[in-house]
Amino acid sequence: MAAQNLDAHLFIDGRWEEGNSGSQPNIDPGTGDAIGLVTLADAAQVQAALDAAQRAFPAWSALTGQARGAILKKASALLAECLEEVAVGLLLESGKTKADATGELRRTVETLAWNGEEASRISGKVHQGIVAGSTRLSVPTPLGVVVAITPWNFPAVLVGRKLGAALAAGCTVVLKASEFTPYSARAIVQTLVDAGLPDGVVNLIYGDPAAVSEQLLASPVVKAVSFTGSTQVGKRLAALAAPNLIRPIFELGGHAPVIVWSDADIEKVIQVTAPAKFGSAGQSCVAPTRYLAHHSIHDALVEALAAKAQTYKLGHGNEEGTTLGSVAHAGRVASFLQLVDDAVAKGAVIRTGGKQIDRRGFFVEPTVLSSVTSDAEILAEEPFGPVATVQSINSVDEAIQLANAGLYSFAAYVFTDSIAVRDKLVAGLHASNIGVNQTAPSLPDVALGGLGNSGYGYEGGTEGVLAYMHLRLVSQSAA
């Protein structure tokens, strides 16, 4: 694989620059080695990014949607051209497999292109007026400067989703990307620059996350904050956004149940859910985690899931044949071990896995737990790792009750051929993204958003672009 420079600098007002608050290493979690540096912004640089975004807004928002969309589509094409090279950097800084890294970048290419098309489709409505000959116009208008804050688990596609929609809408952006995966954000911003994005329209910063967010959200020029990350940080950002009534668009944690009814085809359940469970080492907000299996097929499902888990070949993403990479950092290993140990201490049985792998980097075994007791922390806390639990259920009502227990309301999966069971489950689940006999991916063309502790607002689709716009009502009489 090609070696490349993975250093990440700030991008402010059209210039790459060093951060004035020092730097920290970008660590390859597959080895634990430093592979580059990320430089950190001081308060003056955060302010410079806000000022640049504010200055760039009038001209950018005045462009036609077609002109803005052309830049997004060009950036998409440029990213497609260098996809293999960028995939190497993404893989190195995230611990993903080659397939996961290239798959994520292909989705990023699609996301930029779809939003580029959508920019020219943005349209309002004409309503009848209240007096003869008059009309009422509903006119979508860009909000202004947007703050975007992204996590490490999908460091490319989540940057693409936020920038794609905000730029299509006519907003300008200050992006605070994850310091764990700074290269991926840098690479996507570079494709936009190469596609002709005017100075100041996107500004990229890294820094002390808490201090930078506090400063950004205290600014009166910021009109929306789009955040993907943990529920805990989301609540903190909501509080920071409240005094200035900054519009929040939040995609937060998930802890997806998988209800497997008695008539389900177990082979199909494994075939469909295992890639979503073990892909990106389980560090996905839609990862299927809590399997709730009808008692008649419970043992067979546990066996099949454990057998599948044992087929993964753990390794560094650049090793031939690797099908399961590392977790993102040392903290994820500690959290995995703590949740497994707690479950076992309370009575759970490890059917496979359960341990850290003795090699360089941050690797844990793909793990399946059965007989998990209701007080186990892993049933309440998002495990964000390659671990699944299986519990036995006797009725649809019990399945709904267990599925809905806990903090999150994001993805859920249902496997049954019975229309009656399906309908009752879908109606009863507190989930915003339900896969019936299939996965439930987040695609660029359809809106998706979490409920309750999993977030609010939408990303994707027409609604995802309108999230960055205000519908102005213009009531006008005929001249």
Q: Does 151 bind ligand NAD (CB under 6 A)?
A: yes
Residue 320: CB atoms within 10 A of its CB come to 7
C-alpha distances out from residue 208 to 2, 46, 138, 324, Å: 31, 11, 41, 31
Residue showing the smallest CB distance to ligand NAD in the complex: 229
Catalytic residue among 93, 251, 365, 382: 251
Q: Does 336 bind ligand NAD (CB under 6 A)?
A: no
Provide the minimum distance between the beta carbon of 249 and ligand NAD in the complex, in angstroms, as a whole number: 11
DSSP category for residue 31: T
Residues 385, 335: contact at Cβ < 8 Å?
yes
Provide the minimum distance between the beta carbon of 107 and ligand NAD in the complex, in angstroms, as a whole number: 12
Q: Does 285 bind ligand NAD (CB under 6 A)?
A: yes
Residue 210: CB atoms within 10 A of its CB come to 11
353 versus 460: smaller Cβ distance to ligand NAD: 460
What is the Cα gyration radius of the chain? 23
Distance CA 412, CA 420 (A): 17
210 versus 300: smaller Cβ distance to ligand NAD: 210
Distance CA 50, CA 35 (A): 30
Task: Strand 288-294: give its sheet, edge to edge.
Answer: 349-352, 367-370, 387-393, 288-294, 256-260, 411-415, 433-436
Residue 40-79 contact track with ligand NAD, rule CB under 6 A, x = bound: ----------------------------------------
Provide the minimum distance between the beta carbon of 469 and ligand NAD in the complex, in angstroms, as a whole number: 21
Q: Does 114 bind ligand NAD (CB under 6 A)?
A: no
Indicate which single residue of 150, 219, 322, 409 sits in contact with ligand NAD (rule: CB under 6 A): 150
User: How many residues at the interface with ligand NAD, by CB under 6 A?
Assistant: 28
- Give yes or no: 251 in active site: yes
Residue 93 is inside which H or E element, if any? Answer: helix 83-94
Q: Does 229 bind ligand NAD (CB under 6 A)?
A: yes
Alpha carbon 473 to its chain's center = 33
Q: Does 458 bind ligand NAD (CB under 6 A)?
A: no
Catalytic residue among 93, 118, 285, 365: 285
- Sign for the CA dihedral angle at 25, 26, 31, 32 comes to positive
In one-letter notation, the amino acid at residue 239 is A
- Give yes or no: 365 in active site: no
Long-range contacts of 394-397 (CB under 8 A, 24+ apart): 394/294, 394/295, 396/261, 396/421, 396/424, 396/425, 396/428, 397/428
Residue 406-425 contact track with ligand NAD, rule CB under 6 A, x = bound: ----x---------------
Q: Does 183 bind ligand NAD (CB under 6 A)?
A: no
Residues 41, 19: contact at Cβ < 8 Å?
yes
Q: Does 154 bind ligand NAD (CB under 6 A)?
A: yes
165 versus 396: smaller Cβ distance to ligand NAD: 165
Provide the minimum distance between the beta carbon of 31 and ligand NAD in the complex, in angstroms, as a whole number: 20
Which SS3 state, helix, strand or coil, does residue 358 take? coil
Q: Does 113 bind ligand NAD (CB under 6 A)?
A: no
Provide the minimum distance between the beta carbon of 309 and ligand NAD in the complex, in angstroms, as a whole number: 21
Candidate ranges 63-71, 118-126, 230-238, 271-279; the one touching ligand NAD (CB under 6 A): 230-238
Q: Does 228 bind ligand NAD (CB under 6 A)?
A: yes
Residue 235-274 contact track with ligand NAD, rule CB under 6 A, x = bound: -xx-------------xxxx--------------------
Task: Strand 135-142: give its sheet, edge to edge.
Answer: 125-128, 135-142, 469-476
Q: List, as one string, the DSSP characters of 39-74.
A: E---HHHHHHHHHHHHHHHHHHHHS-HHHHHHHHHH
Q: What length does the chain have?
A: 479
Q: Does 385 bind ligand NAD (CB under 6 A)?
A: no
Q: Does 233 bind ligand NAD (CB under 6 A)?
A: yes
Q: Does 334 bind ligand NAD (CB under 6 A)?
A: no
Q: Does 230 bind ligand NAD (CB under 6 A)?
A: yes
C-alpha distances out from residue 25 to 29, 204, 348, 423, Å: 12, 18, 38, 50
Alpha carbon 259 to its chain's center = 23
Q: Does 21 bind ligand NAD (CB under 6 A)?
A: no
- The set of residues, in sequence order, having a beta carbon less than 8 Å from that of 369 and lying 6+ positions away, is 340, 343, 344, 348, 349, 350, 351, 354, 378, 387, 388, 389, 390
Candidate ranges 114-122, 173-181, 360-368, 398-406; the one touching ligand NAD (CB under 6 A): 173-181
Provide the minimum distance between the beta carbon of 124 and ligand NAD in the complex, in angstroms, as a whole number: 28
Distance CA 87, CA 98 (A): 7
Residues that bind ligand NAD (CB under 6 A): 149-154, 176, 178-179, 209-210, 213, 228-230, 233, 236-237, 251-254, 285, 382, 384, 410, 450, 455
Residues annotated as catalytic (active site), given as ranges: 251, 285
